[in-house]
Structures are given as structure tokens and as C-alpha cells.
A and B are shown apart, each in its own frame.
Chain A
Amino acid sequence: MIALVARRVGWTLLVIWFVITATFVMTAAIPADPAKALLGPHADTAAVERVRAHYCLDDGLVTQYGCWLSSVVRGDLGESFRSKRPVIDIIADRIGPTVQLALAAIVLQLVIGVPLGILAAVRRGRWPDRAATAATLLAQSAPQFFLGTLLLYLFAFRFGWFPIAGSGSLAHLVLPAFTLAAVGIAYYARVVRSELAEALDADYVRTARAKGLPERTVVLRHALRNALGPLVTLIGLDLGVLLGGAVVVEAIFAWPGLGREVLQAVLEVDLPLILGTVLVTAIAIAVANLLSDLALLWLDPRLRDRR
């Protein structure tokens, strides 16, 4: 067991290294000059050359990469080219709202998606099932910013139920979280429905029913267990993806998360900021996956013997 966990952790470190290295290579290939982006359109040749020398931008890729990697190992992510702000501060500022939004979205997915899936499975083939299937299909098919803009316009502007933009209160969180969760709600509902449907036909559930247990107990205690594993895997994956920042949703609702910072950093070739955010995101994804794997092992001891 310990060896297994150790191997997983080692692999996770490898993944993180690979992700940031690949990002470095991709960023370096963008033809924009960070020095020019840093100084702005009015900077003349002399000013640009001064900055290139100052930031070792002329030293070649390998040196730059080595420089960056060694400072990361020492726990220093450097400063954003554009704002001179330490990357770690920027991330510290943005990670809070990002985690908030990600958790809210996952809670919504669970709170809405799972009951919807149960309902559909229990009433298989009848109207609740069909309605749930249709609703989830629609939710899955709407482009995020189509849905987000619609919600913003109706519920924030026209009805005034929620603030239009920004963060700071629970009310600010509702619309972005819902927009972000729409696809997930649909997905969770489908997974629960199919797992539950399968379980409801399984022998052990029939046995439970035959013992005269109430249907509610049969469904919630026995059949739903079956859906637990896939759900945990899904939450792990989702958490990873959502922690990377929800660029589109953040842009629509002016939510101060990581995603917006990443997009801006890429557009401005702010190398330290790109690498810093990718590093943090990669760690978040890897850790989320690791946790969900460990949770699976804990849930299902049979898996421990594999690999």
C-alpha cells in the first residue's frame, strides 16, 4: 500500500515537471517579445534592449529555463514582467476566488445533478426521466457564454436578483457558479442515472427488496453505492479542471479568479506569470487526481491488489 502511494506521488511530480516544461517550450515559441510587451508601444529600441539585457532575455532558452527552474525549486516564482508584482502574490490573490467558484460549482453539480439522476433512474422511461434527460441534454449543449450572458441579463440586470459583476458575497457567486456547473450537473445526472439503473437490476438490490426493505432505503443505501466510485473520480477530474480557472465564466461575470490572469498573461507573454500559474494549476490537478485515486482505493479495497 505504501509503495503504491509512493509510486503515485512520484508520478505526480513527474507530471508536474512535464507540464511546466512543455508550457515553457510553447510560450517560448510565441513570437511576441516580452520586453516589448513589458515596455509598451512607445518604447524605442534603446529601451527595449536595456530590458532584454536586464531580464536575461538574450541568454538563450536553455539558460532561461535553467534559471527559472532553479528559482522555483528554491520556492521563488519570480515577478510578473508587466506589473513587477511577485507571481506568488498574484496567485495568492486569485486562488481564493477560484477555489470558491470551483467548490460552489461542484456543490451545485452534486446537489442538483445527483437527485436529478436518481429521479431519472427510479422513474426510468417515464416523464421525470425524459424531462431530466432533455434538460441535461440542453444544459450540456449550450455554449457557456451563451448561457452566462443570458443568466446575467435576466437575473442580474432585468430582475436585479443578483449583482451584475464582481465578487465578495454569496449573491455574487450564484450566477457564475451556476453557469460553470451547468455542464457538470448534466453529466453527474447522467452518470448517476446509468449507474443506478444498472444497480437497480442487480441481484443484490433484488435481494434487498425481497427482504422487504423500503424502496427509499434500497435506492439510497444499496443501489447508490454503485455510483459512488464513478462520482468520486468525476469530482477529482472536475476539481482539477475547475481549479485551472474558468476563463469564460470569469470574463463574463468579472470574477477575479486565476483564469483571467492566465489569459492575460498569455496575451502579454508575461513568462513568469504564465509559468507560475501553470505550475500551480498543474499541482492542483495532480493533487486532485491523486486524492480521488486514494479515495477510490479506500472505497474499494479490491483495487488495492491491482497494479
Chain B
Amino acid sequence: MKRALLILALAACGMPDRDPKWRPAGATTPRRGGTLTVAMKDQIRTLDPVIAYDEASFYGLVPLFATLVGYEPHGTGLVADLAERWEVEPDGLAYRFHLRDRLAYADGSPIVAGDVKYAMERALTTPDSPFGPMLVDVVGAQAVIEGKATDCAGITTPSPRELVIRLTKPAPAFIYLMTMKFTTPQRAAHVAAAGDAVRRAPLASGPFQLESWDEGTKLVLRRNPNYWDPALPYVDELVMYENIPRDTQFLMFERGELDSAERLASPDYVWITQQPAWRPYIHTGTLLQVFASRMNTTVKPFDDRRVRQALNYALDKEHTRKLLNNAAVISHGILPPGLPGRDDALPPYPHDVAKAKALLAEAGYPDGFEVDYMTQNDEQGEKLAASLQGDLAEVGVRVRIQLVSFATLATVMGQKTGPAFSLTSWVGDFPDATNFLDARFHSRNIADENALNDTRYANPELDALLDAARAELDPAKRLAMYRRAERILYDDAPWIFDYHPATTEVTQPYVRGFELHPIWVRDYTHTWLDLGEHGERVPR
């Protein structure tokens, strides 16, 4: 007993040295070789690109699959990937992609244009693919979805290296679908041969290929020797541990068991940002993400715009920011910073208790009201809900918090009779305003069940504007329309606009060439390890 106490006392007092244990060896150009080990909080569900949508599975897809069009290494600009170039018809109704010469999968078999057509048709015909319906603008896609055809008439392959896609109406955002992993080429014979096991038998076209996958525990990838860019990737092997909580990841990281730790938990983030020795190795980036509180604009008291505006004035966004350790940008709308069409001149709603009270009184609620607020049962959701509860109490709105699982929240929010007031969030699939504004605020997305427009906000003026912008081929005009749409939403306030979170990743000093990517989040294509001569870590 005494000995145990002594050990405890020692552990409590003698703080160990928590500075980085290693340093970069000092190479000036990227070196090849080595194993990069990372971890993730959740578990990879599937490696089938037409099905996977969750973040953990996405971490697995990104290194395995390349698409015709890609993003620049650290930004959202489009670059050639499997396609060396592409053309758009002037009327915006047809896209022609030219594949690179001698493309091959990891197993050495050739990648042909028909494989992309097959992948897109597979998304259309697979019922549990969330992506199929995204292709509705493609000629003939609806017929395939409805089972009236198996061949999508609008997708043709004039030659093995050429893919032509025709649309029913101009849709400038269409090109972004060709960056999404569900359009990665897949060989029909491989998918057919793998059958149900296709979820764990990826035929890789990206920088890495599958070595082994102990499901729920770890995914091991190794270099794909047939990747179109022979210089990449730099590391030989990529190991991804699954199901490791973030605070545990950080312990493993400090012990040197991980080369990189994702999204530090709040306490660890606060600690590490205060360590000068660690500062150069903290990577911060904003993803295409937004968090807010949605209100059902068709039910009392939220049917009154003044109430919605009042709540926007009542929420102190500085509280939110501080609770997120300042790692967030306050939002004025749904579009995240950096997204084309975002009106950066529009300031967020200020915190103004007097104005909020006045608006509530005007709307007939001088003493406020009582309301349930549904949120997700995780640390951050609960913390911010408690903060919202306190802020709204100051203007007389008494909030009761309901905690539910994410699945329930996602289901009931989209129901006509679902909760009127809840947390909401959105992650963009690609950097285009349609993916945000149309999805969440266009009245065509209102339905009795599973409505994406779960505020049930219907404004013909906004609808017309979004429809026009969706098909507008002149980029400047198009972005101006989205800026106008943002103003309309700001005034009508179907959400209590809150914040865009910043994401962080901390890497060991010898990990070089890594930056958080706004879409891919973790992309290790250009990452290399600055290790000693024999591949050993160089002590600090």
C-alpha cells in the first residue's frame, strides 16, 4: 500500500519532459521510404467507394483511389489526376475527359475510360449508395436509377482513353463530382469476381494499395508501384489504426507509437499550442464545415422571422469560440471561409441582448418561451448546447436539452413532425455553393421524411436565385448570385448561425510535407519521413 502511494506521488510530482523526442534529420528534398503510422477515432466501415461516406472510411479511400480530376495538394483548386486534361462544351452540356497514357491499377491491369462509366453506373444501381442520386443531371441517369436501363446513355467512351458525359442541363458544379471517390474507375470483372467481398478488396488506382486489413483494428497500405506519378508516394507503407480515442491517440503519439495525431481533444490542444517546441508541428486548417442550430420555420415560435433573428442576436458567438479554444471561425451563414461565393463582407450577427429582447417582445414573446433543443451526445455537442442554454436564458428563452444519438438526430430532424429546434451541421462534398445552399435551403428538398431542407424554409425568391445560379456558366455572375442568396438567408435566419471549426493535426518533427487538406483532410501522397541514414529516428 505504502509503495503504491509512493509510486502515485512520484507520478504526480515528477512531470516528464514532454517536448518532441526526435528531430528532422535535415534532408532538404523529399526522401523515399519508411512507414507512416497514424490512427483514427472510428472504424473503417467499408472500402467500397460507391458506399463509403463516413470520415473513417474516407481516410481509407483517399490513399487507395484516384479520380479523373483531383485537387491541388493543399487547396481546393482542380488539377489533372487520372485525366490529363478535360474540355467542357460552350453550352455546358457535355464534358470530355482524356485519360493519361498507360494508366494501370495496382495489379497491373489497364485503367480504361469504360471503368469510370461502370463505376458511375454502379453508384446509380446500388440501392445503398448515397451517391447515385447526385448524378441526376446526367442524361439517362434517372432511367438507370429506376431500373429501366442498365446502360447510362449520357456516359460514352469514344476510345479507351476518352470519356464523354452529357448533361440534361448546364451544371457548372458537375465537374466536382469527378473528384468524388465514387467515380474512381472500377473494373467490372473485378467487382463481379469479388462479389460481397468487394468492400474489402479495393482495386487500387491511387498512390497506395491494400496490404492487409484487420477490420476494426488496423489497415495497412503499401506503395502502389503502378501509380501514374512514379515519384509518389514517398513513404513505402501507411499504417492506420482504427478505433483509438483521440486522447489515447495523443498518449500514443507522445510515446512515439504514432507519427501523427488527429484532431486533438480540447485539453491536449490547449496544452500543445502553448509549447514552443511543438508549435512548428501543429497543422491547422478549416474544412468545408459548418455548425449551427436549425429552427423549423413553419412552427411557432420559429415561424416568426423576428424570433429567429432575436435568437441569432442572443447567442454569444464569442462564447462558442472560446469554448472551442479559439479554433473556430464565427459564421454569418452556411458557406465556410474560402468557399467561392461566400460573402466575406457580411459580418456575423453581433451579440446584442437588448436587441434580441426587443425583437422577441415585438414578436409577442416579451417573456420569452420554453423550448426543447435536440443535440448529439458527444462532448462538444453537450458543451455547446449548455452554452446556448445559458445565452438564450438571458433573453428569457428557457431551453431544455435533449441528447440523442447521431442516427436519431439525423432521422427526426428531417421529419415534418420532428423537433423544431436542434443542432445541425454540414460538411461539403466539394467546394461549390450548390452543395450547401441548394441542399439545405431550396424548397425542393422539403419532404415529410428525410428532408435535407430541415428548416422547411421555403422562399420562392431564393429558389429562383439558386436555380439560376446552378445553371449559370459565367463564374462571376454565378458567385454574385450566391452572395445575394447569403444575404437573403442572413435576414431570414432559418439557422442560428454559429461557427466553422478549425481542424488540427500534430505530427512528429520528422514528418514532412504534410498539410491538412480542406477536402481530403488527411492526404499522405506528398508526405515524407526525414529519418536518419538507416531509417532510424534522430533523437533531439
B170 CB to closest chain A CB, in angstroms? 21
Q: Is A82 in contact with chain B by the CB < 8 A criterion? A: yes
Interface residue? A230 (CB, 8 A): no
Question: For A42, what are the chain B residues with a Cβ–Cβ distance below 8 Å?
Answer: 53, 130, 429, 439, 452
Q: B215 contacts A85, CB within 8 Å?
A: yes
- B216 pairs with A84, CB closer than 8 A: no
Q: Are A40 and B243 in contact (CB under 8 A)?
A: no
State in angstroms the CA–CA spacing of A43 and B449 once bound together.
Answer: 12
Q: Which of B44-52, B98-106, B266-274, B356-364 contacts A (4 or more CB under 8 A)?
A: B44-52
Complex interface residues of chain B between 438 and 452 (CB less than 8 A to chain A): 439, 445, 447, 449-452
Is the CB of A94 closer than 8 A to any CB of chain B?
yes
Q: Is B407 in contact with A267, judged by CB distance below 8 angstroms?
A: yes
Contacts of B406 in A (CB 8 A): 37, 267-268
Contact of A110 with B by CB under 8 A: no
A51 to chain B, nearest CB (A): 5
- Give the shortest distance, in Å, between A270 (CB) and chain B (any CB): 9
User: A44-B452, A154-B7 given as contacts; is B215 within 8 A of A93 (CB)?
Assistant: yes
Binds B, one of A2-10, A12-20, A157-165: A157-165
> Is B414's beta carbon under 8 Å from chain A?
yes
Q: Fill in one digit per residue for B419-435: 1 if any A CB lies within 8 Å of its CB, else 0.
A: 00000011101000000
> Is B367 among interface residues, defined by CB-CB distance under 8 A?
no
A44 touches B45 (CB 8 A): no
Q: List the A side residues contacting B199 at CB < 8 Å.
A: 83-85
Q: Are A48 and B450 in contact (CB under 8 A)?
A: yes
Residue B248 is within 8 A (CB to CB) of chain A in the complex: yes
Chain B contacts with A in 290-336, Cβ cutoff 8 A: none
Name the distance in Å between B442's Cβ and chain A's nearest Cβ.
Answer: 11
Nearest CB on A from B342, distance (A): 20
* Residues on the A chain within 8 Å of B217, using CB: 166-167, 256
A33 to B8 CA separation, bound complex (whole angstroms): 48
From the candidates B130, B216, B251, name the one contacting A47 in the complex (CB within 8 A): B130
A261 proximity list for chain B (CB < 8 A): 216
Closest to A89 in B: B215
* Complex: A164 Cα to B258 Cα, angstroms: 11
Q: Contact flags (1/0) for A222-248 with B, using CB distance below 8 Å?
A: 000000000000000000000000000
Closest partner residue, chain A, to B136 (CB atom): A46
Asked if B282 is at the interface of the complex by the 8 Å CB criterion, the answer is: no
Scan A12-50; emit 1 where CB is below 8 A from any B CB, else 0: 000000000000000000111111111111111111111
For A49, give the chain B residue with the smallest CB separation. B450
Residues of B near A158 (CB, < 8 A) are 11, 16
Which of the listed residues B133, B145, B447 has the most CB atoms from chain A within 10 Å of its own CB?
B133
Distance from B48 Cβ to chain A, minimum over Cβ atoms (Å): 7
Report if A86 contacts B (CB, 8 A).
yes
Distance (Å) between the CB of B171 and the closest chain A CB? 16
How far does the alpha carbon of A160 sit from the alpha carbon of B11 in the complex, in Å? 12
- Chain B CB within 10 Å, residue with most, of A30, A82, A269: A82
Contact (Cβ within 8 A) A157 B414: no
CA distance A20 to B274 in the complex (A): 52
- Which residue of chain B is the closest to A154 with respect to CB atoms? B11
B243:A256 contact, CB within 8 angstroms: yes
Contact B410 A37, beta carbon cutoff 8 Å: yes
Interface residue A254 (Cβ < 8 Å from any Cβ of B): yes
Query: Using an 8 Å CB-CB cutoff, how does the interface string of B335-358 with A read, 1 for contact, 0 for none?
Result: 000000000000000000000000
**Is A191 at the interface (CB under 8 A from chain B)?**
no
Instruction: From B127, B252, B429, name the one whose CB has the most chain A CB atoms within 10 angstroms.
Output: B127
Shortest CB-to-CB span from B121 to chain A, Å, is 15
| A267 pairs with B405, CB closer than 8 A | yes
Q: Which of A65-99 contact B (CB under 8 A)?
A: 79, 81-86, 90, 93-94
Q: How far is the CB of B158 from chain A (nearest CB, A)?
A: 31
Structural contact, A50 and B450, CB atoms closer than 8 A = no
- Which residues of A sit under 8 angstroms from B447, Cβ to Cβ? 45
Interface residues of B in 150-199 (CB under 8 A from A): 196, 199
- Range, interface on chain A: 35 or more
Q: Which residues of the partner chain A approach B109 to less than 8 Å between Cβ atoms?
A: none
Q: Which of B243, B252, B407, B426 contacts A37 (CB 8 A)?
A: B407
| Contact in complex: A32, B408 (CB < 8 Å) | yes
Docked CA distance A67–B215 (Å): 28
**Chain A residues closer than 8 Å to B7, beta-carbon distance:** 154
Residues of A within 8 A of B425 (CB): 41
Known: A36-B450, A154-B8. A47 touches B257 (CB 8 A): no
Residue of B nearest to A261 (CB): B216
Give B119-135 interface residues, CB cut-off 8 Å to A.
127-130, 132-133
Q: Does B255 sit at the interface, judged by CB under 8 A?
A: yes
Taking the closest CB of chain A, its distance from the CB of B334, in whole angstroms, is 14
Which of A34, A43, A53, A93 is the one whose CB lies under 8 Å from B216? A93
Chain B, 208-235, contact with A by CB distance < 8 Å: what is the 0/1 string?
A: 0000000111000000000000000000
Give Cα A149–Cα B408 distance, bound, in whole angstroms: 30
Instruction: List A contacts of B145 (CB < 8 A).
Output: 46, 50
In contact, B128 and A54 (Cβ under 8 angstroms): yes
Q: Does B479 contact A (CB under 8 A)?
A: no
Write out the residue numbers on chain A whose beta carbons fall within 8 Å of the beta carbon of B452.
Answer: 42, 44-45
Contact of B130 among A39, A49, A153, A269 (CB under 8 A): A39
Given known pairs A38-B128, A85-B215, the reply for A30 and B408 (CB within 8 Å) is: yes
With a cutoff of 8 Å between Cβ atoms, the chain B residues found around residue A163 in the complex are 257
A260-B411 contact given A39-B128, A164-B251, CB 8 Å threshold: no
Contacting A45 at CB < 8 Å: which of B244, B407, B449? B449
- Is A165 in contact with B248, judged by CB distance below 8 angstroms? yes
Does B455 lie at the interface of the complex (its beta carbon under 8 Å from any beta carbon of A)? no
Q: Decide if B133 touches A36 in the complex (CB within 8 Å).
A: no
- Give the interface centre of B215, B255, B411, B451 by most chain A CB atoms within 10 Å: B411
User: Which among B16, B128, B410, B445 is the interface contact of A51 at CB below 8 angstroms?
Assistant: B128
Contact A156 B411 (CB under 8 A): no
Given known contacts A47-B133, A166-B241, A254-B243, A36 and B411 CB-to-CB distance under 8 angstroms: yes
- B residues less than 8 Å from A45 (CB atoms): 445, 447, 449-452
- Nearest Cβ on chain A to B177's Cβ, whole angstroms: 13
CA distance A39 to B241 in the complex (A): 24
A251 beta carbon closer than 8 Å to chain B: yes
Task: Knowing that A42-B429, A165-B251 touch, tell me 13 more A-B residue pairs with CB under 8 angstroms.
Answer: A31-B408, A32-B411, A32-B412, A33-B450, A37-B407, A81-B128, A82-B45, A84-B128, A131-B1, A165-B248, A266-B405, A267-B406, A268-B407
Q: State the 5 A-B residue pairs at the shortest beta-carbon distance, nearest first.
A: A54-B127, A37-B407, A32-B408, A32-B407, A33-B411
B interface vs A, CB < 8 Å? Answer: 1, 7-8, 11, 16, 43, 45-46, 48, 51, 53-54, 127-130, 132-133, 145, 196, 199-200, 215-217, 241, 243-245, 248, 251-252, 254-255, 257, 405-408, 410-412, 414, 425-427, 429, 439, 445, 447, 449-452
A-B contact pairs, 7 of them (CB 8 A): A33-B411, A37-B411, A41-B425, A79-B196, A84-B46, A165-B244, A166-B241
